[in-house]
Structure 1
């Protein structure tokens, strides 16, 4: 589900959220493009040859073989026909819903995290889904 209200976080909160969802390996952290809802990991951006600063900021579609400016790619994504698209968080429309407030007063606008892939640890005394 797309995030419609900006979420403000500190860098520490943002990292903690990522680790709780995906574990400590940053390459496994996954983000949702606010334009086309495509989910990609940092590893996907790297494989596409994208610059490090584009992870969670611009859709991975900008760096795939279709490349930026491919009108068919963008049109399909904006019409709800899937992604990835060529959306960039630095463009005219600032859709990135997570605002990470830095110590210098600046704010970095990021994609929302995807659904968690790390299972929560079992809490003693509470049954798991299997009842154990």
Structure 2
């Protein structure tokens, strides 16, 4: 396992010499597909960088489209990634390998042992947002209710108890069938979003 600091990650990303943060490139450790935030946006994972940053370099684009990539995510049980980012508090966070990373001593990386297995990262940290905001001062994330987070971009039905969005005006009472009628891609997107919040603590 190779560990790099936030400053080293920033140096690697800047060396890619792209026009904007949406074009920073990362390689899925499973299928080796090169992907960017713009690819995630085009695949429907979100409308802006802020919305897709939680997936960037953490979940492969194949979780959102059938056109490329695979369904690998660093939030799963098995860990095959080769790069982690070291935070100032001493904790490490997994990340897809950034394009241009050599893994050599020239980049200041340190070896931390064998690949980890059986370690589940319950929630991706916005590593890239931390780095990129230091450079371009991107706006802070906004807080949204769980319903909006899970079903953003989904079309609701007209049922009065629709799980996606409660209808305004005329409504029916036939029962919401939105989840049952979701496509494979929509279910994959919903699954990825659930992984972000599944381990959150709630009061019941």
TM class by smaller structure: 0.5 to 0.7
Check conservation: 2:84, 2:95, Cα contact below 8 A: yes
1:1-132 superposed matches below 5 A: 6-23=1-18, 25-50=20-45, 51-64=52-65, 66=66, 83-115=68-100
- How far residue 24 of structure 1 moved from its aligned partner, in angstroms, is 6.1
- Structure that is richer in strand per residue: 1
- Max radius of gyration: which structure? 2
CA–CA distance in structure 2, aligned partners of residues 22 and 85 of structure 1: 27
**Structure 2: 5+ residue stretches without partners:** 46-51, 102-204
Please, what TM-score do these two structures have when normalized by structure 1? 0.64
**Structure 1: 5+ residue stretches without partners:** 1-5, 67-72, 74-82, 117-132
Check conservation: 1:46, 1:52, Cα contact below 8 A: no
Check conservation: 1:9, 1:100, Cα contact below 8 A: yes
Structure 1, residues 18-48: CA drift from partner, whole Å, max 9, x if none? Answer: 1112346211111111101111112111222
Higher relative contact order (CA 8 A, sep 6+): 1
Say what the alpha-carbon RMSD is for the aligned residues: 2.1
Misfit runs of 4+, over 4 Å: none
CA–CA distance in structure 2, aligned partners of residues 22 and 39 of structure 1: 16
Name the residue aligned to 2:127: none
* Number of residue pairs aligned between Structure 1 and Structure 2: 95
Structure 1, residues 42-85: CA drift from partner, whole Å, max 9, x if none? Answer: 21112223332110111011112x4xxxxxx9xxxxxxxxx510
